[in-house]
Amino acid sequence: MRVVFSGNWKTAKLPSVRSCAEELEFHSPSKSIEMDALPEAWDSRFVAFIFALQKLLAENGFLAKLEKFPTELRGLMGLAAKGSDAERRREVSQPQTTTRHAQRFAIGERVQFLGSMVKGILLFCQKKTSVRGTGFGRLLRQAGFESLPIVATVSFLIGTILGFIGSLQLERFGAAIFVADLVAIATVREMAPLMTAVVLAGRVGAAFSATIASMRTRGEIDALSTFGISAMDFLAVPRVVAMAAMTPLLCVISVLVSTGGGMAVAIPMLNVGCLQYVHESAASVKFGAFCFGIGKSVIFALIIAPIACRSGMICERTADGVGRATTRAVVNAITAIIVADALCDAMAARLRI
């Protein structure tokens, strides 16, 4: 059978390759179809169409003969057909995802990660670590100083909210001054560590994860390993230590700013004196409660940073992978913080702290 392509193939709407092939197969008496092209105008769309058509026909055992096609067109087709890589590509890319999946959920791998992290942290703190040039100062700044404005803002607002609710309720019982106690105890024990951790998870945890993930994607971590610099010691450990060092400081600042926030609402609303408020606040917070709050903030930091770093270190090597790693870091960290908070509170209740 002989088919002739004519007309303007540059502007025409192309028919579907599949229906075209089906029609040809239906009408063709033999397995060989001779094709002839006399198009007025054509571009690569036409070549792509013929390429796909020929391939589809070949899959069903039909041979499309293109001898009569213009030479330029056959040249292009020839180049495209030479790409023997396609076959190997198909072979290569199958069994990957399962191994990656298995790897990500292996418990052994997590334990190993934790083990080498603890070891790395101990060495780092004793200044015995073998890696140098980690930019630790910059990390301290990133985790601490640069996070200060957002932590302060959030804390102040939380303080005002607590102060406002407390004032409305306690005023009815004529116990206005106890707003100071309420705000102080609530922030020291709960709100300051929790809000600091949530803000840091979103701000610093996400940054840690994205940095490490994009380094992995670009092969920078491979380059580190060939220089015998482990990603754990060079990237993860300094970040964890920096965060564990800065979070308690931020937490203390958060407590102070929250108290200020509470005071800013309570003083005009309730007619209590400034000094009286401060005195009442200070008296209400026991040393144990203070330590409990600070201790929690350290625990939270030790949850956020390793989760963020690990999420970056296991990310898939694509731009999407980096995005997913960052999301995973923040979501997992915040969930883990809240669970840990509940556990800590339950324990504190038992121990009557």
Partner 1 sequence: MGNVESVAAISVDGVSVGHGGLPLLSGVTFSVAAGEILAIVGKSGCGKSTLLRVLVGLDRPMAGAVRVCGMNPAEMLRMGGAMAAKTYGVLFQDCALWTSMTLLENVLLPLRNYSRNGEEEIRNLAKFKLALVGLEGFENAYPHEISGGMAKRAAIARAMALDPPILIFDEPSAGLDPCTAKQIDKLILQIRSICGTAIVLISHELGSIGRLSDRVAFMDVETKSMRPIAKLEEMMVTAAADSALRDFFGDRPTRQAALEGFGHET
- Binding stretches for ligand ATP (CB under 6 A): 88-89, 92-93
Question: What is the smallest separation between the CB atom of 132 and partner 1, expressed in angstroms?
Answer: 5
The residue (of 96 and 126) whose beta carbon lies closer to ligand ATP is 96
- Min dist. Cβ of residue 317 to ligand ATP (A): 7
Question: Rounded CA gap, 18 and 24, in Å?
Answer: 10
Nearer to ligand ATP, 59 or 87 (CB): 87
Integer CA distances (angstroms), 60 to 15, 25, 46, 54, 223, in order: 19, 9, 21, 10, 48
Token pair for 128:
């015995």
Residue 332 binds which of partner 1, ligand ATP, none (CB < 5-8 A, kind-dependent) = none
Which is nearer to partner 1, 221 or 257 (by Cβ)? 221
* Distance in angstroms (rounded) separating the CA atoms of residues 51 and 74: 10
In angstroms, the CA 293 to CA 254 distance is 11
Q: Shortest approach of ligand ATP to residue 82 CB, angstroms?
A: 15
Within 8 A by CB and 6+ apart from 200, the residues are: 143, 147, 151, 243, 247, 250, 300, 301, 304
Which listed option, ligand ATP, partner 1, none, makes contact with residue 222 (CB within 5 to 8 Å by class)?
A: partner 1
Q: Where are the alpha helices (DSSP H) in the chain?
A: 17-27, 44-59, 71-82, 85-92, 96-105, 107-125, 136-143, 148-172, 178-186, 192-200, 206-217, 220-226, 231, 237-270, 274-284, 287-313, 319-351
Closest by alpha carbon to 162, among 130, 139, 195? Answer: 195
Q: Which residues bind partner 1 (CB under 8 A)?
A: 84-85, 88, 91-96, 99, 130-133, 211, 215, 218-220, 222-230
Return all residues near 58 (Cβ < 8 A) that are at least 6 apart. Answer: 64
Nearer to partner 1, 219 or 268 (CB): 219
182 vs 210 by CB, closer to partner 1: 210
CA distance 141 to 111: 30
Q: Which lies closer to ligand ATP via its Cβ, residue 16 or residue 93?
A: 93
Binding partner at 225 among ligand ATP, partner 1, none, C-beta below 5 to 8 Å by kind: partner 1
Q: Which residue lies nearer to partner 1 by CB, 84 or 126?
A: 84
What is residue 343's three-state secondary structure?
helix
CB atoms under 10 Å from CB of 71, counted, come to: 8
- List the single partner that 191 binds among ligand ATP, partner 1, none, CB under 5 to 8 Å by kind: none
